[in-house]
A and B are shown apart, each in its own frame.
Chain A
Amino acid sequence: MFLESSLSKTKLNCLSFSFQTYLANTWWGYDSHSEWFSVLEGNCNYHSTVDVEYNIALIYLLLWPELLEKEICQWSKYVKKNVVSHDIGALFEAKSMAYPHDMEVEENCNFILLLYVLWRFTGKDELIKNYYKLVKRLIEFVIKSDTTGNGFPDRGTVNTVDDASPAVQFAKEQTYLGVKALSTYHAVYVIAEKMNDIKLKQKCLQMIKKINFTLEKKAWLKDHYIVSLNKKVDNIIDPWSKKVITGVLEGWDAYSIYTSNGLLYLLLTNTEIDINYEKIKTDIYNSYKNTLIEYGCTHTSVDKSNIWISQNLWRDFVAAYLGIDLLDLTDRYWQFELFENTQGRGGCFVDTYGWNHLHYYLRGITSIGLFFALAGIKIDVVKKTIVVSPVRIPVKIPLLTFANWEK
């Protein structure tokens, strides 16, 4: 079926290769009471890592949404102090988070955005009703993570791009996280509307307004969004050494490939949001130009430590929905996989070019989003709407979300 599509041979190779690596990481367990599904994070060995599943959930939306529903159910049982855990365990234990530190704001946003996209792709209102109390707790945490009043989270902002510089990994007021929070507030707004919760809707609108003001007045620099509002490191705690860092935050004003990370699921569900898409497009294009090296784009124009292939793909998909065609960059990603698995370090799908070596890594299956991105497919089962907005023609793709697999 994939061979009949208009995807190029390189794209199909990348997709097939990453699909096999993904399959090798999947776990299915059961006892007399229940079934258990999890995906291992390749050589990192964590189970059902939320921020990884955030990217690869495209495969569930295309082929098997019930698996994402199972994961959401599991994650809801691993919430501590209103924070979604980064993972649910490692190797043969899945009792508690195994990663050394939380990723508070981002995992809360990831959980809500995944719940939202699953709802819009399945039309199951019970998802919203079942998890509404939890959604309220999680979004309250995100709201409180802004202690300066500008809308951008400044507490709980650490992420797990753990080969990146402090500016990308644990700066306090990061633009990509401001945008991701903005997306999440929009998703919660729609959810709250369904639940007739006027108070929460108003809270979300206030936060959206604040973030947009900050994006416009503080985060935009000539032709791109800066990485972080903080030019200096002001008592940032390194999550690894636990030491307080001070001084200049190198790369605070760089071009980043992560600015638009939070937008894809809202684009995919044709959810209208209040954001300056023209500036987002300008940012994507200029960051692409300033971060591109042989196998893809580095984290930022200053932090050239590593390339994450999956994050490049994700950026390419957002770009495609906004009319910028970067989808042939897949040729570079595939060349990297060929290099690693012939002359390089090996490990099936390798996500990272640089010193980091994320291998046997599931995140490559993000590439299945090529089916959505090429034709600009937007699906909203709740509204019974399909929008087609191709970034290039000719294109031929299967609408797998609507397949009748029993036929």
Chain B
Amino acid sequence: MREPWIEISLVDKKINVEIKNNNLIKNYKVVIE
């Protein structure tokens, strides 16, 4: 995989954010609003 993927879902009524292949953005601060 050559790009990060972001997947946002609802799990147990809570927002769940999963980032795949996140080594490409490892120096970044990811904020969920």
Contact = CB atoms under 8 A, between A and B. Distances in A.
Contacts of B4: 398-399, 402-403
Interface in B1-32: 2-10, 15, 17, 24-25, 27-32
Interface stretch (A8-16, A176-184, A278-286, A388-396): A388-396
Nearest to A376: B33
Nearest to B7: A396
A66 B29 CA distance: 24
Interface stretch (A150-158, A202-210, A213-221, A379-387): A379-387
Nearest to B19: A399
A320 to B, nearest CB: 13
Contact of B10 (A377, A393, A403): A393
Contacts of A388: 6, 8, 17, 30-33
Contact of B24 (A384, A395, A403): A403
A395 to B, nearest CB: 5
Contacts of A393: 8-10, 15
B28 A375 contact: no
A375 B30 CA distance: 13
Contacts of B7: 394-396
Given A394-B9, A402-B24, A402-B25, A386 B31 contact: yes
A396 B29 contact: no
A399 to B, nearest CB: 4
Contacts of B10: 393-394
A34 interface: no
Given A1-B3, A376-B33, A385 B8 contact: no
A387 B24 contact: no
B6 A397 contact: yes
B33 A387 contact: yes
B29 A384 contact: yes
What is the size category of the interface that chain A forms with chain B? 20 to 34
A386 B2 contact: no
A169 B32 CA distance: 40
B3 A394 contact: no
Nearest to B32: A388
A13 to B, nearest CB: 22
A28 interface: no
A394 B9 CA distance: 4
Nearest to A394: B9
B12 to A, nearest CB: 13
Given A376-B33, A393-B15, A394-B10, A384 B27 contact: yes
A380 to B, nearest CB: 9
B5 A398 contact: yes
Contacts of B8: 375, 388, 390, 393-396
B28 A385 contact: yes
A398 B32 CA distance: 16
Given A376-B33, A393-B9, A396-B7, A403 B2 contact: yes
Given A375-B8, A386-B25, A404 B3 contact: yes
A399 B2 CA distance: 10
Contact of A407 (B2, B5, B25): B2
A197 to B, nearest CB: 28
B15 to A, nearest CB: 7
Given A388-B33, A389-B33, A397 B28 contact: no
A405 interface: yes
Given A376-B33, A386-B25, A397 B3 contact: no
A377 to B, nearest CB: 8
21 contacts: A375-B8, A377-B6, A384-B27, A384-B28, A385-B28, A386-B30, A387-B30, A387-B32, A388-B6, A388-B31, A388-B33, A389-B33, A393-B15, A394-B10, A398-B4, A399-B5, A399-B25, A400-B3, A403-B3, A404-B3, A407-B2
Q: 3 nearest interchain CB pairs?
A: A403-B3, A389-B33, A407-B2
